C-alpha cells in the first residue's frame, strides 16, 4: 500500500468520523429543542381541551381504593405524612390537574419495539392519534382513558403503520384529573405502566422537570393529588 493510498484512507475515515459526530450533535440538539417545546406545550395545554367532552365517573372511586395495584403501593388513606404536607402546598384556582412523566433516550427508541410494548401493556391507539390506557382487569373504563401516551417530538402524535421505520426520542405519559377512577388510583396505574416501559427499555423515568423520578418526587406527586382531590370535595 502506497503512502498516498494510506493517506487517502485516513482522510476518508476522518471525514466519516467528523460527519458522524456532527450528525449526533445535531440530533441531540434537535431532541433537546423538541423536548423543551413539547414540555412547554404540555405545561400550558396537555391536550386539556380535547378531553372536555369526556364524561367523569368519580362515583367509582371508593371501591377501587382498596385494590393493590403494585407491590410498593402505599396506603394513602393511612399515610399520615401525606396528610400533614397537604396544607403546605398552595391551592390552585384550576379545576384540573395534569401529571406528566417522561421516558427519554438521546439515541432514540426503535418504533417497532415501542409499538409492540404498548400493545402488550394494553394501550389503545385512538383519539388525538396517540395511545391511551383504560385500566387493568376489573379496574377498567372503556369511555375515558386513565392515562395517555404521546410522542416526545411535536406534534406528539404517532402513525402505527410507520413506527417500524422510525426512531422515537422519547415518550410522554400524562393523566388528567378528575379522571375515571380518581387521582390516587389513576396515578398508580400510570406509574405502573411507566415503570414497566422504563425497565423494558432500560432507561429511567423523568418527572415534569426532566430530572429522575426519585421516591421523594413520587411522594410529592401523591400529595399533590391528595390535595387536589381534598380541595375538589369542598
**pLDDT for res 125:** 95
> Can you name the CATH fold of 25-233?
Cell Division Protein Zipa; Chain: A, (3.30.1400)
Separation of alpha carbons 185 and 68, rounded Å: 9
Q: Is the pTM of this model over 0.75?
A: no
Where b means 16+ CB within 10 Å and e means fewer, 126-159 reads: eeeebbbbbbeeebeeeebbbbbbbbbbeebebe
Q: Are 139 and 174 in contact (CB under 8 A)?
A: no
Query: DSSP for 148-212?
Result: EEEESSTT----GGGGGG-EEEEEEEEEEES-TT-HHHHHHHHHHHHHHHHHHHT--EE-TTSSB
Which is higher by pLDDT, 27 or 52? Answer: 27
C-alpha cell at 190: 400510570
- Is the confidence at residue 216, as pLDDT, over 70? yes
pLDDT level of residue 27 (50, 70, 90 thresholds)? low
Q: Are 219 and 180 in contact (CB under 8 A)?
A: no
Amino acid at each position: 500500500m502506497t503512502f498516498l493510498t494510506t493517506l487517502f484512507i485516513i482522510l476518508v475515515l476522518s471525514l466519516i468520523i467528523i460527519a458522524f459526530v456532527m450528525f449526533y450533535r445535531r440530533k441531540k440538539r434537535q431532541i433537546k429543542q423538541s423536548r423543551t417545546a413539547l414540555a412547554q406545550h404540555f405545561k400550558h395545554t396537555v391536550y386539556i381541551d380535547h378531553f372536555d367532552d369526556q364524561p367523569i365517573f368519580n362515583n367509582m372511586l371508593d371501591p377501587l381504593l382498596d385494590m393493590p395495584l403494585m407491590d410498593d403501593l402505599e396506603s394513602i388513606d393511612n399515610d399520615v405524612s401525606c396528610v400533614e404536607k397537604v396544607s403546605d402546598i398552595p391551592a390552585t384556582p384550576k379545576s384540573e390537574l395534569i401529571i406528566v412523566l417522561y421516558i427519554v433516550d438521546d439515541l432514540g427508541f426503535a418504533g417497532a419495539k415501542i409499538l409492540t410494548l404498548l400493545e402488550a401493556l394494553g394501550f389503545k391507539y385512538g383519539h388525538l392519534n396517540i395511545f391511551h390506557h383504560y385500566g387493568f382487569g376489573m379496574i377498567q373504563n372503556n369511555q375515558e382513558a386513565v392515562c395517555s401516551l404521546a410522542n416526545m417530538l411535536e406534534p406528539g402524535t404517532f402513525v402505527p403503520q410507520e413506527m417500524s421505520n422510525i426512531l422515537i426520542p422519547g415518550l410522554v405519559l400524562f393523566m388528567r384529573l378528575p379522571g375515571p377512577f380518581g387521582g390516587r388510583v389513576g396515578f398508580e396505574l400510570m406509574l405502573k405502566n411507566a415503570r414497566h416501559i422504563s425497565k423494558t427499555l432500560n432507561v429511567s423515568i423523568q418527572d415534569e422537570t426532566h430530572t429522575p423520578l426519585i421516591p421523594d418526587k413520587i411522594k410529592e406527586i401523591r400529595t399533590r393529588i391528595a390535595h387536589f382531590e381534598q380541595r375538589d370535595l369542598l
